[in-house]
């Protein structure tokens, strides 16, 4: 029995080491700017109705099943069913490391997953993808009653909305919602750096670039905002 346990433990360690070696093999081998260009090109095809839906066949499934995943970007997106990330950017299996959560908030689970994408999978680019008509942000703007768990989930959105309301108190509801959606996107990036020394250091060292974007659920177009307006201060440069 002891020999069996020892052998099993050895097998687990060997498997874990092999998995770790594969995980640290380094992403898709492209720069953040190249990754961004690939996303922009894919979204252009998608909006034009000329999507090629690449790398989604049996050969690609086999390639990623046997060779592991090597995505070129990590995307923090809302869980809204109208925001199918790989489709929006016309990418295939294993291309995009997607983290989806209501309101595209950056809290412990989301940040930890992004850390995995950047450090272990080697994605040079991180995109916080907000979208128009976001239900989570709208609920906070309107002060709607939510369950206890949803309240905890959307808590990171509250500072963004409060900031918008303090600066645009006379704005109509739609304006407040739209401005809050953008502010919440920036809030997620700020939270990411504030709560992750790893991501902050990787950004400061030029190993990753974190940018914000907004997806229009009607037109399909992605508007790119770039890095946080206070990026240098956030990463300590």
| Binding-site entries for Zn(2+) | 78, 80, 131, 134
Binding positions are 78, 80, 131, 134
Nearest Cα to Cα of residue 206 among 235, 177, 179:
235
Nearest Cα to Cα of residue 81 among 126, 31, 147, 135:
135
SS3 85: helix
Helix residue ranges per DSSP H, the chain: 2-23, 32-47, 58-67, 85-88, 108-115, 135-142, 148-153, 158-167, 173-195, 197-204, 231-235
Q: Do 55 and 93 contact (CB within 8 A), yes or no?
A: yes
Residue with tokens 């997806």: 215
Left (φ > 0), alpha (ψ -120 to 50) or beta: where does 83 sit? beta
**DSSP labels, 29-79:** S--HHHHHHHHHHHHHHHHTT-----S-SHHHHHHHHHH----SEEEEE--
């Amino acid at each position: 029995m002891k020999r069996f346990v020892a052998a099993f433990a050895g097998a687990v360690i060997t498997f874990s080491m092999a998995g770790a070696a594969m995980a640290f093999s380094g992403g898709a081998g492209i720069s953040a700017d190249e990754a961004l260009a690939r996303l922009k090109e894919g979204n252009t095809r998608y909006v034009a109705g000329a999507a090629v839906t690449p790398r989604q066949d049996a050969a690609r499934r086999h390639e990623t099943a046997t060779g592991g995943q090597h995505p070129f970007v990590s995307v923090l997106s809302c869980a809204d069913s109208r925001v199918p990330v790989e489709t929006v950017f016309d990418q295939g299996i294993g291309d995009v490391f997607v983290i989806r959560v209501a309101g595209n908030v950056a809290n412990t689970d989301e940040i930890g997953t992004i850390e995995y994408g950047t450090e272990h999978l080697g994605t040079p680019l991180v995109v916080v993808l907000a979208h128009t008509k976001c239900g989570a942000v709208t609920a906070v703007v309107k002060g709607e009653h939510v369950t206890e768990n949803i309240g905890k989930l959307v808590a990171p959105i509250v500072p963004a909305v409060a900031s918008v309301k303090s600066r645009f108190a006379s704005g109509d509801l739609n304006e407040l919602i739209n401005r809050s959606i953008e502010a919440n996107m920036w809030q997620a990036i700020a939270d990411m750096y504030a709560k992750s020394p790893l991501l902050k250091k990787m950004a400061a060292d030029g190993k990753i670039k974190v940018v914000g974007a907004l997806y229009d659920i009607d037109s399909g177009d992605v508007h790119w905002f770039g890095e946080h307006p206070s990026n240098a201060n956030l990463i300590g440069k």
